[in-house]
């Protein structure tokens, strides 16, 4: 399903193969590497494969994940997704290019994804793991009604070490 929606000055849309170079540039940025668990480094071939994969997932009759590109002024600046959907639950993932931090864009994007997940994917429970140092990520989740659920010991494997995650949960009304 192709979805495009304008919310404030943001556009949400499915990824396009033409996004691959911008995706590589953003995801290889030090700040994104520090605050996410995306595999690095990302090359153009990997980005093209990933875009094809997420678009194929979205076309399924009962998708287990859906990714939206966040676009501002025609440029890819981030992503928000629901992944690992099983029955009525899924996991939220997101990132935003550093130049757009602190402007409320990710708060809006997560709100958009929650609405989409509940209305179009039939999701009731949404889980979001957060790296403990990423206070901004915790704040955008809390602004969208997520509640802290505790610490997940050794949840992520990053840079050769196991690290904890903070658990956040959203329940639809």
The residue ranges of every structural domain in the chain are 5-124
* CATH level 2 (architecture), domain 5-124: 3-Layer(aba) Sandwich (3.40)
**pLDDT, tens only, 5-24:** 434 467 999 999 999 999 99
**pLDDT, tens only, 131-159:** 999 999 999 999 999 999 999 999 999 88
**One-character DSSP codes across 4-34:** -EEETTEEEE---GGGHHHHHHHHTSHHHHH
User: Tokens 């590589």 identify what position?
Assistant: 24
pLDDT of 48 higher than 60 = yes
Q: pTM of the prediction?
A: 0.89
Centroid of chain to Cα 162: 21
């Amino acid at each position: 399903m192709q979805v495009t929606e304008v919310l404030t000055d943001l556009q949400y849309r499915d990824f396009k193969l033409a996004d691959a170079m911008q995706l590589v540039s953003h995801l290889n940025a030090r700040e994104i590497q520090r605050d996410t668990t995306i595999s690095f480094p990302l090359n153009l071939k990997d980005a093209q494969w990933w875009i094809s994969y997420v678009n194929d997932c979205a076309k399924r009759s009962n998708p287990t994940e859906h990714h939206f590109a966040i676009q501002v002024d025609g440029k890819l600046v981030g992503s928000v997704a629901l992944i690992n959907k099983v029955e009525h639950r899924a996991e939220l993932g997101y990132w935003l290019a550093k130049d757009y931090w602190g402007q409320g864009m990710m708060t809006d994007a997560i709100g958009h994804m929650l609405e989409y997940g509940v209305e179009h994917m039939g999701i009731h429970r949404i889980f979001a793991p957060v790296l403990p140092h990423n206070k901004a990520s915790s704040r955008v989740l809390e602004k969208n009604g997520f509640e802290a659920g505790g610490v997940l010991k050794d949840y992520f494997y990053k840079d050769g070490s196991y690290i904890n995650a903070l658990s956040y949960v959203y329940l639809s009304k």
